[in-house]
Chain A
Amino acid sequence: MMDLGKYAAEVISAWGISLAALAGLVWWSVRRDRKVRAELERTERDHG
């Protein structure tokens, strides 16, 4: 494990929060896209 010195807490928390936010954004976008695609297929089958 690398030594981040006296700013270790700041560096790790900044990176942790940022990467979690980016991963959450990607996950949410992909999940919503899949849901909407499936819903569109259903709707086109029923009403298209």
Chain B
Amino acid sequence: MSIWSYANPRKFLDTTAPWVPWLMWLSAAVLAVGLVWGFFFTPEAERFGSSVKIIYLHVPSALMAINAWLMMLVASLIWLIRRHHVSALAARAAAPVGMVMTLIALITGAIWGQPMWGTWWAWDPRLTSFLILFLFYLGYIALWTAIPDPDSAADLTSVLCLVGSVFAILSRYAVNFWNQGLHQGASLSLDKQENVADVFWVPLLVCMAGFVLLFLALVLLRTGTEIRARRIAALRARARRVEPVRA
């Protein structure tokens, strides 16, 4: 069966709806394990003291902030090329989730930065690109609500998504590109020498898995909501067209 068969809204709903509660509970369970492990059963770091515990929320939320936008980029490209409504609605559904993830990354970063760097905020390449990404999320959500015609809204938000992708990629690689500023390099690396110690790394991986599952669950749930909201609008529009004829 082709993947494009899921572009049919009915087929998408029938397939995904039974998965959503399971994914919700699974994400809650994995997050609970990772967060309890990280908070209660990991030691303090030599340089950072107990503030290292912020990593279990900061790193996964930053990861999802960037990847949510990249998922929106793929969905937007599918809309622009193949005109599948479900993909445009999936991008719309993911935006508030990505926006909240970006906000969590910014706030936890600022709270951690105050005692470590002596400032809540610095115009550092990674921090600045993350702030711009957050503003892109706000603009994207506002654009969807500002345009009444759903196809025009999908077109314009898709173009905005393409432009914002530059900042999503910059947020990830800003430290490598400029090699300056306060923010350190990636906390996770395939190179074991550069990685954080295993005692922090394993619960962090569990938290990241929990965030990925939560993102999936929320995007599927919210895409279903958007499809149903679109159906309500279509039924009402049809009723408005039919009623004058009956009268």
Residue numbers of A with Cβ under 8 A of B are 2, 4-8, 10-11, 13-15, 17-19, 21-22, 24-26, 29-30, 32-33, 36-37, 39-40, 43-44, 46-48
Contact = CB atoms under 8 A, between A and B. Distances in A.
23 contacts: A2-B40, A4-B53, A10-B51, A10-B54, A10-B115, A14-B111, A14-B112, A15-B53, A17-B111, A18-B104, A18-B107, A18-B108, A24-B100, A25-B96, A29-B97, A29-B222, A33-B224, A36-B228, A40-B231, A40-B232, A43-B236, A47-B238, A48-B235
Given A10-B51, A36-B232, A43-B236, 20 more contacts: A5-B49, A7-B48, A7-B115, A8-B50, A10-B111, A10-B112, A10-B115, A11-B50, A11-B53, A17-B104, A17-B111, A18-B108, A21-B100, A22-B214, A25-B96, A32-B222, A32-B225, A36-B229, A40-B228, A47-B235
B34 to A, nearest CB: 13
A5 B104 CA distance: 23
B72 interface: no
Interface residues of B, number: 38
Contacts of B214: 22, 26
Nearest to A3: B50
Interface of B: 24, 39-40, 44, 48-51, 53-54, 57-58, 61, 96-97, 100, 103-104, 107-108, 111-112, 114-115, 214, 218, 221-222, 224-225, 228-229, 231-232, 235-236, 238-239
A36 B228 CA distance: 7
A22 B104 contact: yes
Given A5-B49, A21-B100, A36-B225, A14 B54 contact: yes
A39 B50 contact: no
Interface of A is mostly: helix
Contact of B218 (A18, A29, A37): A29
A40 B233 CA distance: 9
A1 to B, nearest CB: 11
B218 A44 contact: no
A43 to B, nearest CB: 5
